[in-house]
Amino acid sequence: MDFVLLANGPESVRNLSIFDPASPPAEAIRSLSFLVAGIAAFIFIVVEGVLFYAVAKFRSPGGDRNSAVRQAEPPQVYGSKAIEIAWTAAPALIVFILVLVVTRTLWEVERTRPEPKAGDHALYVTVIGHQWWWEYVYESYDDRRLGFVTANELHVPASDKKSDRPVYLTLKSADVCHSFWVPRLAGKTDLIPGHTNEMWFQTDKPGTFVGQCAEYCGTQHANMLLRVVVDEPDEFERWLKHEAEPAAEPAAGDAAARDAKAAFMQQSCVKCHRVRGTTAYGKFGPDLTHLMSRQTLAAGVVANDAERLRQWVADPQQVKPGCLMPAFKLEPSELESVIKYLATLR
């Protein structure tokens, strides 16, 4: 089983570095971390410098332990106003500077979310964390109502010279605490049961950005992977249009495909998964309406290809041990029908 999909991807897809930001909140965090590390390094050098100077200059003169030099008391200093003032004022000043820059960074990272309005090119998505996958409810884009649901791969538009295209996420949880973290786009923000958080990012770099749930949430926490696909604006429009459509219906003349669909609808799959436009209405698992348009399965764990889809449906516990989808021990013919139907969900 291939668990190292990320390691096999192109360089840009593997990039999880906070030092290569592609969005204003991530840039603000990197600048702050450089500044704090710089100040800390300066303090370290000063303190260690004084320490080594003192060690070298005042080291024991050696010789007899009872000699007059070693027995003599060092000069006794009873305070110095200048030094007292200096070592109170300097740290206070440093802390004050840090408070100011941290406040400014918070300001940039936690931008107040504006009301959607036409012409703002802003995307609003509600993210719901589940053990161990991500649900995305597309609310609106450029003040157009969307209202469809997808899972695990978040598509967003890239900003360009003509306009910024900010993405505002509303973060919720269906079960336990999770944390949304795509290091190149923004800092971590938790998804907390019974509480709503918000975050934002925007980028002018099309491509795939990866991330990871950053709050321990159970057995498969480490495999609760994030993929954010940044599309060119035109491409994003096409994606939106396609995702908003209900599931593809098998052609009237294609008896095999219709049988496969009928067989799928009789399985327990429909209790947990929704396929829009059909009687599959479950809400516990990921929406499957356009399953085949996704690059990966099982929240980014394996590539979405015929072979892995079969392994996943046959026994999810082999692919993602502990995940909440059980193996239904389908008969080979049932498995074939389910796979055949899923493959039509383009």
Task: List residues near ligand CUA by CB under 6 A.
Answer: 129, 132, 178, 213, 215-217, 221, 224
Q: How far is the CB of 334 from ligand CUA (least distance, A)?
A: 31
Nearer to ligand CUA, 174 or 343 (CB): 174
Nearer to ligand CUA, 135 or 215 (CB): 215
Q: How far is the CB of 176 from ligand CUA (least distance, A)?
A: 7
Report the candidate in 272, 250, 270, 247 with the shortest Cα–Cα distance to residue 259: 250
Please report the beta strands in the chain, taking only residues with DSSP state E, as ranges in sequence order: 123-130, 133-141, 144-151, 153-157, 167-173, 178-180, 189-191, 197-201, 207-212, 225-231, 296-297, 302-303
Nearer to ligand CUA, 178 or 320 (CB): 178
With a CB cutoff of 8 Å and minimum separation 6, the contacts of 114 are 120, 122
Nearer to ligand CUA, 203 or 212 (CB): 212
Element of type H or E holding 270: helix 269-272
C-alpha of 71 from chain center: 64
Q: How far is the CB of 197 from ligand CUA (least distance, A)?
A: 14
Q: How far is the CB of 177 from ligand CUA (least distance, A)?
A: 8
Nearer to ligand CUA, 39 or 176 (CB): 176
Q: How far is the CB of 168 from ligand CUA (least distance, A)?
A: 21
Q: How far is the CB of 175 from ligand CUA (least distance, A)?
A: 9
Place of tokens 């057995």: 219
Residue 88, φ and ψ in degrees, nearest 5: -95, -45
Report the distance separating Cα 272 and Cα 32, nearest Å: 44
Q: Give me the DSSP letters along 195-256.
A: --EEEEE--S--EEEEEE--S--STTGGG-EEEEEEE-HHHHHHHHHHHHSPPPPPPTT-HH
Q: How far is the CB of 178 from ligand CUA (least distance, A)?
A: 3
CB 171 within 8 A of CB 127: yes
Helix 24-57 to helix 81-109 angle (10° resolution) is: 160
Nearer to ligand CUA, 217 or 338 (CB): 217
Nearer to ligand CUA, 138 or 181 (CB): 181
